[in-house]
Amino acid sequence: MHEMSLAEGIRQIVENQARQHGFTAVRSLRLEIGRFAGVEKSALAFCFDIAMRGSPAEGARLEMIDLPGRALCHDCNREVEIEDRLDPCPLCGGGRLVPVAGSEMRVKDMEVA
């Protein structure tokens, strides 16, 4: 389950930021997760609770924000939003799309004390 390694990575971010900025507790943490990131959100929420034990984020509320998938269409030369990596261009129907966004996952912000 790669969601546990993702949660452990989030813990490292929290701990590094706590050291750097001197906070002792995280009340909430917001993650941005792209449509193509391959993250099972319910599994990540479960792993987050486990991985944060003993850290400044223990008991923190996790909010996950969905980011759309975006691709550049080489047929109409426009950037478009797509639901699936293999979707055709919703504007021209072309099939020569290159994903440009939607694979990312990042900590957007934290509410700290």
Q: Where are the domains of the chain?
A: 2-68+102-112
Residue-level pLDDT at 9: 98
Tell me the whole-structure pTM to 2 decimals: 0.88
pLDDT in tens, the chain (113 residues): 599 999 999 999 999 999 999 999 999 999 999 999 999 999 999 999 999 999 999 999 999 999 999 999 999 999 999 999 999 999 999 999 999 999 999 999 999 99
Q: Across the strands, what pairs with 79?
A: 72
Q: In what order do the strands lie in the sheet with 61-67?
A: 61-67, 26-34, 105-112
The rounded distance, in Å, linking the Cα atoms of 58 and 72 is 40
Which residues 6+ apart lie within 8 Å of 10 measured at CB?
29, 31, 48, 51, 52, 57, 107
What CATH class has 2-68+102-112? alpha beta
The rounded distance, in Å, linking the Cα atoms of 48 and 11 is 8
